[in-house]
C-alpha cells in the first residue's frame, strides 16, 4: 500500500494536471473562453434551466385528432386492400367514417367473408392479450364496421408520443442549443426545457407545427364559384394558400408525402430564399412518374393542410429533387427546412404551459450554490485540520482536487449541472471527507495497538479501503437506480453524485496516500501525531 512506482506516480500527476486544464474554462465567461486559441480547451459544463435560465414548455397531445387520423388511415388502407384483393376487387359502397368508426356495404354478399379476412389482417395484434387495434364486425348481413379498440387507442398514443419525443429532439438539436431536457409527463404530455433560450416564441412555433408535408395535384376541373364557397368536387378538398388565404381545390390523395424526404436545406436563389429538398429513391421515382404524366398542370405543396406553393409542372422532374419557393425570408426558410428534415409529428401538440426562467435567477442559484460549496469546503477543512493535523491538511488538498476533477469530468462528458446537481456536489464533499476520516481513524487504531509508523499507516489504508469500496459501491448502485428511474432534476443529482463518488475514492484513497507516502519517505518520522 505504501509503494508507488514511478509510472504510477506520473499517471496520478497526469490525471490531476488534466483535471486542472479541463476544469479551468468553467472559471471564465463563455464568450471569453471561445476567444481563446484553437488549441486551448474550451468545453464547459452545461448548465441546466434552473442555473442558466431559459424556456420551459409543456406540450399536450391532441388525443381526439390522433384517433381521427387513425380512423382516416384505416379507411384508406381498408379500401385500398379491398381494391387489390386476391381473386378480384371487392366492390363496396355507402362508405362512412363518422362516429369514430369506418363502415361500408359490400355489394356482393358472397364477398363478405373474404372482405372480413382481409380487414382482420389489417388490425394489428397488441401485446399477448390477443386484442387487436380494430374490431371487425358484420351487421345487416353485408355491412362491415371497423371500430378502434381501447387497447388500440392506447397503443397508438404510446407509439405517437415516443416518436414525437424523438422528432422534438431533432428539431431542437437543429437550433444548436445545449443539453435540452425532453421528457414524457404522463401519457399525453411532453416537457421541453431549453437552457439559454430566453424567447420561447420561436420554440413554440417550431414545436407546435406538425410538419406534415404532402404533394398533391390541383383540381383544375373545380368550379371557381364552388371553390370560393368552400365546395369541392368528389375526391378533392378545399385548402387555403398560406400567403394569401385564398381557397384552392386539391386532390385528396397525395402524390407523395414528406416521409420519403431525405434532406431539406435553405438556399438562396436569384436573391430569394427557398427550400431545396431531395427524395429517397422510391419517392424520386414516384415524383418523376407523376410529373411526367401531368406536364402543364399545377400541383400543390401542402404543409399542415395549408398550400405553401402551387407551381405548374413545366417539365418532368426526374432528379428526385426540387425547390419550395414562397414568401420566405432567411428565418422562415430555415425553420421550414428544419421541420422537413426532422420529420412530421405523428400527433398534434398544443402548448398548455410556457415559462421563462431569467438568467438573473439562474445567476442567483449559481452564486448560492458556489457559496454553499465554499462554506462546506472551508468548514470541513477547518475540522479536518484541527482533528488530524498534517493528515487533515492532506485530506483537505485531496478534497479540493476532488472538486476540480468533478468539474473536469462534467466538462469533458457534456453533463448538465442543475440545482440538485449542486446539492449532489456538496454531498460529495462530505462523502470524500468521510473516506479520509475512516482512513485516519484506522491509523489511530493501529497506533494504539503499538504498531510502528509505516505499519500503522499501511494497515490503516488497507483496512479502511475495504470499507470505503463497499460503501461507495452501494452509493453507485443507488445513483444508478435514481438515474434509471428518475427524471429531470433527479437525473442531474444522480449524474453529479456518480462522478463525485468515483473522483472522491480516487482522491481519498490514492492521491492522499501518495502525499502521505511522500512525506514518510522524505522525513522518516519515528512517531506521528494524528
Residue ranges making up the domain that contains 298 = 55-62+156-355
Tell me: do 202 and 314 sit in the same domain. yes
Residue 134 sits in a domain whose CATH number is 3.30.70
Question: Which CA distances in Å does 194 have to 181, 183, 197, 417?
Answer: 7, 12, 6, 14
Instruction: Please say which residue of 154, 175, 195 terminates a domain.
Output: 154
Q: How far apart are CA 125 and CA 372, in angstroms?
A: 56
- The answer to the question of residue 102 being in a domain is yes
Q: What total of structural domains would you count in the chain?
A: 3
End residue of a domain, out of 139, 154, 169: 154
CA distances from residue 525 to 29, 385, 393 in whole angstroms, order as listed: 47, 19, 17
For residue 505, CA distances in Å to 104, 149, 353, 467, 471 come to: 71, 55, 43, 11, 10
* pLDDT for the residue 273: 87
Write out the H or E segment, with its range, that includes residue 56: strand 54-61
Give the 3-state secondary structure of residue 59.
Answer: strand
How do the pLDDT tens digits run along the chain, 530 residues long? 677 888 999 999 999 999 999 999 988 888 888 888 888 888 888 777 777 778 888 999 999 888 888 888 888 888 888 888 888 888 888 888 888 888 999 888 888 888 888 888 877 777 666 678 888 888 888 899 999 888 888 888 988 898 888 888 877 877 665 567 888 888 899 988 888 776 777 777 777 777 778 889 999 988 989 989 888 888 889 999 887 889 999 998 888 887 777 788 888 888 888 888 888 888 888 888 888 888 888 888 888 888 888 888 888 887 778 787 777 788 878 877 877 777 778 888 888 888 877 666 566 767 777 787 788 778 888 988 899 889 999 989 998 899 899 999 999 887 778 778 888 887 887 777 888 888 989 988 888 888 888 888 888 888 888 888 888 898 899 989 988 887 667 777 888 889 989 998 899 889 989 999 889 888 888 777 77
| pLDDT value, residue 347 | 86
Based on the fold, state whether residues 245 and 219 are members of the same structural domain: yes
Looking at 355, 370, 404, the residue that finishes a domain is 355
Task: Give the C-alpha distances (Å, rounded to integers) separating 499 from 189, 406, 504, 505.
Answer: 31, 6, 8, 10
Contact 475, 497 (CB under 8 A): yes
CB atoms under 10 Å from CB of 379, counted, come to 11
d(CA 528, CA 389): 10
373 shares a domain with 333: no
Q: What's the start-to-end Cα distance of the chain, in Å?
A: 19
Q: What is the pTM of this model?
A: 0.61
Report the pLDDT value the prediction gives residue 177, as an integer from 0 to 100: 58
Cell readout for 491 is 437525473
- Asked whether residue 70 falls in the same domain as residue 163, the answer is no
CA-based diameter of the chain, in Å?
Answer: 108
In a domain, 41, yes or no: yes
Asked if residues 264 and 334 have their Cβ atoms less than 8 Å apart, the reply is: no
How far is Cα of residue 308 from the mean position of the Cα atoms in its chain? 29
pLDDT of residue 21: 93
Q: Is residue 302 part of a domain?
A: yes
Residue 431 lies in a domain: yes
Q: How far apart are CA 8 and CA 169, in angstroms?
A: 43
Please check whether residue 493 lies inside any domain of the structure: yes
Note the pLDDT of residue 194: 83
- Contact indicator for 435, 468 with CB cutoff of 8 Å: yes
> Which residue's entry shows cell 409542372?
313
Report the C-alpha gap between 420 and 426 in whole angstroms. 10
162 and 112 within one domain: no
- Residue 29, CB-side half-sphere exposure with 13 Å CA sphere: 4
Residue 379 shares a structural domain with residue 451:
yes
250 and 224 within one domain: yes
In the DSSP assignment, the letter for residue 258 is G
What does the pLDDT read at residue 130? 66
Contacts of 467 (CB under 8 A, 6+ apart): 438
Look at residue 304 and give its three-state secondary structure: coil
Residue that the C-alpha cell 445545449 belongs to = 178
530 inside domain: no
What CATH number has the domain bearing residue 43? Answer: 1.20.1640.10
Determine the pLDDT at residue 245.
Answer: 86
> Could you give the C-alpha distances from 461 to 2, 377, 385, 441, 513, in angstroms and in order?
9, 23, 19, 10, 8
Cα–Cα dist 455/474, whole Å: 29
Same domain? 273 vs 338: yes
Which pLDDT score, from 0 to 100, does residue 128 have? 61
Do residues 324 and 195 touch, judged by C-beta distance below 8 A?
no
170 and 248 fall within a common domain? yes
CA 205 – CA 335 distance, rounded (Å): 9
State residue 293 phi and psi, 5-degree precision.
-80, -10
Cell numbers linked to 284: 424520386
Helices (H), 343-389: 359-388
| Same-domain pairing of 169 and 229 | yes
Beta-sheet strands, E only, within 242-304: 247-251, 256-257, 261-269, 272-279, 299-303
| 326 and 406 share one domain | no
- Residue 132 sits in the same domain as residue 177: no
Amino acid at each position: 500500500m505504501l509503494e508507488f512506482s514511478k509510472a504510477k506516480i506520473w499517471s496520478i500527476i497526469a490525471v490531476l494536471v488534466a483535471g486542472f486544464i479541463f476544469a479551468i474554462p468553467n472559471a471564465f465567461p463563455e464568450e471569453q473562453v471561445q476567444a481563446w486559441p484553437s488549441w486551448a480547451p474550451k468545453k464547459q459544463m452545461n448548465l441546466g434551466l434552473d442555473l442558466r435560465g431559459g424556456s420551459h414548455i409543456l406540450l399536450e397531445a391532441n388525443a381526439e385528432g390522433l384517433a381521427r387520423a387513425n380512423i382516416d388511415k384505416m379507411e384508406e388502407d381498408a379500401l385500398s386492400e379491398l381494391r387489390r384483393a386476391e381473386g378480384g376487387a371487392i366492390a363496396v359502397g355507402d362508405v362512412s367514417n363518422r362516429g369514430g368508426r369506418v363502415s361500408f356495404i359490400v355489394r356482393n354478399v358472397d364477398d363478405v367473408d373474404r372482405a372480413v379476412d382481409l380487414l382482420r389482417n389489417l388490425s394489428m395484434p397488441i401485446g399477448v392479450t390477443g386484442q387487436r387495434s380494430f374490431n371487425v364486425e358484420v351487421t345487416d348481413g353485408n355491412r362491415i364496421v371497423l371500430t378502434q379498440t381501447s387497447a388500440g387507442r392506447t397503443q397508438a398514443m404510446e407509439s405517437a408520443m415516443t416518436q414525437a419525443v424523438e422528432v422534438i429532439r431533432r428539431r431542437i438539436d437543429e437550433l444548436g442549443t445545449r443539453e435540452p431536457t425532453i421528457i414524457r409527463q404522463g401519457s399525453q404530455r411532453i416537457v421541453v426545457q431549453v437552457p439559454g433560450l430566453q424567447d420561447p416564441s420561436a420554440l413554440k412555433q417550431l414545436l407546435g407545427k406538425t410538419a406534415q408535408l404532402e404533394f398533391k395535384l390541383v383540381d383544375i376541373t373545380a368550379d371557381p364559384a364552388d371553390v370560393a364557397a368552400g365546395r369541392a368536387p368528389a375526391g378533392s378538398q378545399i385548402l387555403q394558400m398560406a400567403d394569401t388565404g385564398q381557397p384552392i381545390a386539391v386532390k385528396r390523395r397525395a402524390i407523395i408525402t414528406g416521409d420519403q424526404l431525405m434532406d431539406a436545406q435553405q438556399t438562396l436563389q436569384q436573391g430569394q430564399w427557398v427550400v431545396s429538398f431531395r427524395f429517397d429513391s422510391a419517392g424520386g421515382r414516384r415524383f418523376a412518374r407523376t410529373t411526367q404524366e401531368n406536364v402543364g398542370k399545377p400541383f400543390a405543396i401542402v404543409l399542415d393542410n395549408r398550400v405553401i406553393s402551387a407551381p405548374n409542372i413545366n417539365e418532368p422532374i426526374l432528379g428526385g429533387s426540387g425547390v419550395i419557393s414562397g414568401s420566405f425570408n432567411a428565418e422562415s426558410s430555415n425553420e421550414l427546412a428544419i421541420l422537413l428534415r426532422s420529420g412530421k409529428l405523428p400527433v398534434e401538440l398544443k402548448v398548455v404551459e410556457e415559462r421563462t426562467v431569467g438568467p438573473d435567477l439562474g445567476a442567483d442559484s449559481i452564486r448560492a450554490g458556489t457559496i454553499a460549496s465554499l462554506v462546506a469546503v472551508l468548514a470541513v477543512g477547518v475540522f479536518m485540520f484541527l482533528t488530524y493535523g498534517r493528515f487533515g491538511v492532506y485530506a483537505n488538498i485531496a478534497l479540493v482536487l476532488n472538486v476540480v476533477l468533478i468539474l473536469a469530468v462534467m466538462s469533458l462528458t457534456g453533463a448538465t449541472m442543475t440545482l440538485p446537481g449542486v446539492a449532489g456536489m456538496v454531498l460529495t464533499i462530505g462523502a470524500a471527507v468521510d473516506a479520509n476520516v475512516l482512513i485516519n481513524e484506522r491509523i489511530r487504531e493501529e497506533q494504539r495497538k503499538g504498531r510502528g509508523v509505516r505499519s500503522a499507516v499501511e494497515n490503516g489504508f488497507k483496512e479502511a479501503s475495504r470499507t470505503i469500496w463497499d460503501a461507495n459501491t452501494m452509493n453507485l448502485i443507488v445513483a444508478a437506480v435514481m438515474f434509471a428511474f428518475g427524471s429531470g432534476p433527479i437525473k442531474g443529482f444522480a449524474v453529479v453524485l456518480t462522478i463525485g463518488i468515483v473522483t472522491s475514492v480516487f482522491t481519498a484513497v490514492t492521491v492522499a496516500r501518495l502525499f502521505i507516502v511522500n512525506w514518510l519517505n522524505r522525513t522518516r518520522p519515528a512517531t506521528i501525531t494524528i
